[in-house]
Homo-oligomer: A and B are copies of this chain.
Amino acid sequence: MAQTDTVTRILDTAEVLFAERGFAETSLRTITSKAKVNLAAVNYHFGSKKALIQAVFARYLDPFSERFHQALDELEVQYRDEAIPLEVLLETLARTVLEVPAERNSLKVFMRLLGLAYTQAQGHLRRYIQEHYGNVFSRFSDLVRRATPELPEAERFWRLHFMLGTVIFTLSGLDALRDIADKDYHEHVSVRDLIRRLRPVVVAGMQAPLPDDALKVAG
């Protein structure tokens, strides 16, 4: 039974704590004590705290990357030379994101981690993700380009990131928002509910009219 499930226990505990408090605010002592594992185990198995952080991400992003590539392969076969419609691309992305962590029903954790990767300094993490998973984003980005030929290059870039912000911000801050929503509207939303609500907003955002070329934004 024992063998290397120490590694798994560390990862399981670390991802939850990281998602709850961030990286700097989560000490190795908190992780190892909650995981009922010796303090030195982290440095023994992973080498350093930084490497542990990267390993936590790899456990989500490796399967995600593989599945998403695969899903895009199928779409490209299906659509031959036609451009894949934007809605289909977004739908596929959403489905893959939902599938990956579903097996450990930890979508919330996954989203929190993505949000942290963006917002917490941690230069090493950004470099790691860019280096290991940059090509998935590039491929998706290229397909979106073909799906929205009317958008100027730069405009599409920014809108993709706007929408990324919408989704990550919402799903990663979900708990806080859900508390407010529960209290005010007595309507409990699931993550899948939220994604259903997000879809039309994201699509409309991507297809919004181009901004005025006005030189100034306000009075």
The answer on a CB contact under 8 Å between B214 and A196 is yes
Q: Are B217 and A209 in contact (CB under 8 A)?
A: no
Q: Which residue of B lies closest to A186 (CB)?
A: B154
Contact at B163–A91, with CB atoms within 8 Å?
no
CB-CB nearest in chain B for A208? B204
* A21 close to chain B: CB less than 8 A: yes
Asked, given contacts A204-B205, A211-B200, whether A121 binds B192 with beta carbons under 8 Å apart, the answer is no
Query: Contact at A161–B165, with CB atoms within 8 Å?
Result: no
Option from B24, B207, B214 in Cβ contact (under 8 Å) with A22: B24
Number of copies of this chain that the complex holds: 2
Q: Which of A163-210 contact B (CB under 8 A)?
A: 163-170, 172-173, 176-177, 180-181, 184-185, 187, 189, 192, 194-205, 207-210
Q: For residues 88 through 135 of chain A, which have their beta carbon under 8 Å from a beta carbon of chain B?
A: 91, 94-95, 98, 115-116, 118-121, 126
Question: With A24-B22, A165-B166, A166-B163 in contact, is A199–B211 under 8 Å at CB?
Answer: yes
| Complex Cα–Cα for A95 and B120 (A) | 28
- Chain B positions within 8 Å of A25 at CB level: 24, 121
Q: Given A165-B168, A169-B168, A203-B208, A185–B153 Cβ distance below 8 Å? A: yes
Chain B residues within an 8 Å CB radius of A170? 158, 161-162, 165
Mind listing 26 A-B residue pairs with CB under 8 Å? A20-B121, A22-B22, A22-B121, A24-B25, A94-B218, A95-B218, A153-B185, A154-B189, A157-B184, A158-B177, A158-B181, A158-B197, A159-B201, A161-B170, A162-B170, A165-B170, A165-B173, A168-B169, A195-B217, A196-B211, A196-B214, A199-B211, A199-B217, A200-B208, A202-B205, A205-B205
List 6 extra interface pairs beyond A20-B121, A165-B168, CB under 8 A: A95-B219, A118-B176, A157-B184, A192-B216, A196-B211, A204-B207
Q: Which 3 A-B pairs have the closest CB atoms?
A: A165-B169, A204-B208, A24-B24
